[in-house]
Amino acid sequence: MLNIVLFGPPGAGKGTQSNLLINKYNLVHLSTGDILRSEISEGTKLGVEAKSIMDRGDLVSDEIVIGMISSKLDNNPDANGFIFDGFPRTEAQATALDNLLKGKETSISVMLSLKVADDELIKRLLKRGKDSGRADDKNESIIANRINEYNNKTAPLKTFYSNQDKLSEIEGIGSVEEIANRLNSVIDNL
């Protein structure tokens, strides 16, 4: 199985590149951000709980997102592999993911970490905020909080995967196609 953690700060291009990778490698896309936003739009209890947290740019609790990923893994027993987009975001999530995959006799193949400078992230997210109306993209102080959460809680996962010899860092500035080519060449050489 090919199991990819697609990693990077908010606005790094994770969602954009995941959509290309799932087609090329026939993978199931698991984006915790997308799953949470669909819970919000359906008005579920979980969605109501998550909305105010996401609107502030904080991280939703580990318990909620680990439960979501666990049930999605169970629902896709015949998958060729998975792209984990926006998950894991904390060490507790990364440990839980390793254990869930071990239970299915598989493991993470690689962490592809997109590198993008903060000024470019802010520019991309404010643009998406204008185009899509996403509440957490509209205002610079919420974006700054998301970048802070990433630096404090999520970026340390690079060490977690580098200790397992699975980290690959990729320049995330350039055209969508250029970045896709960089990701493909790492995957093709695994």
Q: Which residues bind ligand B4P (CB under 6 A)?
A: 10-16, 32-33, 36, 53-54, 57-60, 65, 86-87, 89, 93, 124, 128, 136, 146, 176, 179
14 part of the active site: yes
C-alpha span between 80 and 72 (Å, rounded):
14
Rounded to whole angstroms, the Cα distance separating 113 from 67 reads 24
The tokens for 86 are 């926006």
The answer to whether residues 55 and 110 touch, using CB atoms and an 8 Å cutoff, is: no
Q: What Rg value do the Cα atoms of the chain yield, rounded?
A: 16
C-beta of 25 vs 49, nearer to ligand B4P = 49
Beta bridge partners of 110: 4
User: Encoding tokens for residue 162?
Assistant: 């580098």
C-alpha span between 80 and 74 (Å, rounded): 14
Q: Closest separation between CB of residue 184 and ligand B4P, Å?
A: 15
Closest CB to ligand B4P among residues 29, 166: 29
Residue nearest ligand B4P, Cβ-based = 33
Nearer to ligand B4P, 52 or 107 (CB): 52
For the question of residue 115 being annotated catalytic, the response is no
User: Does the annotation mark 124 as catalytic?
Assistant: no
From the candidates 51, 72, 124, 146, give the one annotated as an active-site residue: 146
Residue 101 CA, chain-centre distance (Å), reads: 17
Residue (1 or 92) nearer to ligand B4P, CB: 92
Active-site choice (37, 134, 153, 182): 134
Minimum separation from the CB atom of position 83 to ligand B4P (A): 11
> Which member of 37, 128, 138, 182 is catalytic?
128
d(CA 182, CA 178): 6
From the DSSP assignment, how many helices (H) and strands (E) are in the chain?
9, 5
Smallest separation, CB 81 to ligand B4P (Å): 19
- Catalytic sites, residue numbers: 14, 89, 128, 134, 146
